A and B are shown apart, each in its own frame.
Chain A
Amino acid sequence: MASDPQEPDKKNSWVQMANYAQLAVIFPAATVVGWLIGVALDRWLHTTWLYIVGLLLGIVAGFVELIRTAMKNSS
């Protein structure tokens, strides 16, 4: 197969597009997952505050993933 010099860039831009498509969902998804884990732990351990910890960790995890993906794509 003849190699096109622009092909890696083109493929790379598809990977970037997929990563950016992920950015829109990853932050709310991480927040909901953190909250769900907190709620599950609250039910399991009969506590009433772990859902807040889960929610906060979810928000932080969302930001970390957001920044990580953005930095990976911009570098």
Chain B
Amino acid sequence: MPEQLLFTRLLNHWFAGPTTAMLQALHIQPQYREAPITNAVAMEVLVVALLLVVFIMVRSRLSVESPGGLQHMFEGVNGFIEGQSRDVIGHHSERFTPFLVALGLFILIANLFGVVPGLESPTGSPVVPLGCAICAFVYYQVQGFKTSGVGYLKHFLGPMWWLSPLMLPLEIISHLARLMSLTIRLYANMFAGDMVTLVFFSLIPIAVPVIFLGLHIGVALLQAYIFVLLTTVYLAGAVATEH
């Protein structure tokens, strides 16, 4: 059985039975029946719980006259993403802000978990970046259909009608490649960051790993930002209408 973090062990202690039963009902056989919840899933649950608690705290203390530090911080994050999506998508981009902020914060917190002792980055496991990429992919396709209706399919047919039999498979592959590139970039960067930190901790456990922890924090911020920015660029392409 793989090594379990404390939080994973707790979740497996409480929820192993119902989780195994649910997986078997879906005809999925867990590798370890007594520990079906992996570290990545447990860390994802922790990220969501943490974000929920913070959002509830911010919501309950919202104030126009005397906004607190947390409110200022989240207003800043929201304003930053909103401004960026306005620059990339144009007018009427505000409706995408909640999704982009939620996605960005989830990835950022998940990435930063790697520098906290006793926790690990769920994004260092390929399934979590894949899940985020699938969310982004489904979201921008749905928004494309919502904006242009069936006319959105024209995006897949190329500029000239006689080229469409060739362009259709190419566009389908291009869109699926975006899914893969989002996944691989985030996973590879976080996995490599974790490995570098781990290796230097085992080689020189004093002072030197701090540099690599700093690097890991920088990579975590940059990768979360790039993920959100590319999702915004894809959204801009999907909701763009030809005049």
Contact = CB atoms under 8 A, between A and B. Distances in A.
Interface stretch (B45-53, B64-72, B168-176, B191-199): B168-176
Contact of B177 (A14, A15, A26): A26
Contacts of B177: 26, 29-30, 32-33, 58, 61-62, 65
Interface residues of A, number: 25
Interface in B78-120: 83-84, 87-88
B126 to A, nearest CB: 14
A15 B225 CA distance: 10
Interface in A12-32: 12, 14-15, 17-19, 21-22, 25-26, 29-30, 32
B218 to A, nearest CB: 14
B178 interface: yes
Contacts of B219: none
B241 interface: no
B233 A30 contact: no
A57 B171 CA distance: 10
Contacts of A33: 173, 176-177, 180
B184 interface: yes
Contacts of A11: 83-84, 87
Contacts of B174: 30, 61, 64-65
Nearest to B180: A29
Given A18-B230, A25-B185, 15 more contacts: A11-B83, A11-B87, A15-B87, A18-B226, A22-B230, A25-B180, A25-B181, A29-B178, A30-B177, A32-B177, A33-B176, A58-B173, A60-B170, A61-B173, A65-B174
A18 B185 CA distance: 11
Interface of A: 8, 11-12, 14-15, 17-19, 21-22, 25-26, 29-30, 32-34, 37, 57-58, 60-62, 64-65
A26 B181 contact: yes
Interface string B145-172: 0000000000000000000000001110
